[in-house]
Amino acid sequence: MDYLLLCVLGLLGSYGLNILYVSVFYHRALTHRAVTIQPWLRKIVLETGNWVTGIDPKGWVCMHRLHHKYSDTNRDPHSPLTSGIWRVLPMQLHSYKRALRGLVVGDRKYTSMVPDLDFPVSWLNRRKVWYLPYVLHAFLAICVGVFFQAWLLAACYWLGMMSHPVQGWMVNALSHRYGYRNFATDDHSKNNLMVAWLVFGEGFQNNHHHNPTAANFAVKWWEIDLGYALTWTLIRLGLLQRASVAGFPKIGSWQ
């Protein structure tokens, strides 16, 4: 296979794997319960999630529910309205760290956001070795470079695996600042087509804030949510199930 094509596939594969975990498993399934994950797969997702993405599933869900609860107010964990678009990058990182610490020490402000999650914060964060997944991916990339003399492929793999802060920034900053609105929600969420294409439907923030429990973030016929295409495929394969929100007790404004 042509080496450059292999590099592109390496980038798309690692980028897509990141989005699969964060957008489908963490966001649509664990946070909003738009779909449920088959129990055996859920165990695998919870065991591997922090290693694959570098991000703790419980910490991410907690921060994201706070975002829905306080969207674009002073208590929003990340909003370009209160900080400007560039500051959203450090803001989302600090908010994530605060959520993790709050969950570990049992702070009600954070634990009350995730009463339905029956699993603890990953041991990587409990034991303050959060950096190990990053070391692992750097090590794997260096191995690809050294043993196969394929440094471009190694860089593509590494960039795809480390892309989440940039994906998050595009969604949290750009899709709450630039775009159009289909719904008059209380926040400043927008639908940003560029972000929606790049981050598999997550750019349709206005649609999503209007109806957080919908598995499909697209509403108009010309809006395409690739994350929902992934979700739909996993439903067809029997790995996910459509959830009936009516069956869940209402526990917050993310429902």
In the complex, the smallest distance separating the C-beta of residue 149 from Zn ion, rounded to whole angstroms, is 42
In the complex, the smallest distance separating the C-beta of residue 52 from Zn ion, rounded to whole angstroms, is 20
Nearer to Zn ion, 76 or 102 (CB): 76
Stretch that binds Zn ion, among 90-98, 143-151, 204-212, 232-240 (CB under 5 A): 204-212
Nearer to Zn ion, 95 or 205 (CB): 205
231 makes contact with Zn ion (CB under 5 A): no
95 makes contact with Zn ion (CB under 5 A): no
In the complex, the smallest distance separating the C-beta of residue 206 from Zn ion, rounded to whole angstroms, is 9
In the complex, the smallest distance separating the C-beta of residue 78 from Zn ion, rounded to whole angstroms, is 9
CA dihedral for 159, 164, 165, 168, sign (positive or negative): positive
* 34: nearest Cα among 237, 185, 208, 162: 208
Q: Give the Cα separation of 208 and 68 in Å (integer).
A: 10
Three-class SS of residue 154? Answer: helix
Amino acid at 175: S
The one among 18, 163, 191, 205 contacting Zn ion by CB under 5 A: 205
- Tally of CB atoms within 10 A around 129: 12
In the complex, the smallest distance separating the C-beta of residue 48 from Zn ion, rounded to whole angstroms, is 22
Nearer to Zn ion, 163 or 205 (CB): 205
Give me the residues paired with residue 191 across strands.
180, 204
Q: Give the Cα separation of 24 and 215 in Å (integer).
A: 9
| Numbers of helices and strands, H then E, in the chain | 13, 2
**Binding residues for Zn ion (CB under 5 A):** 205
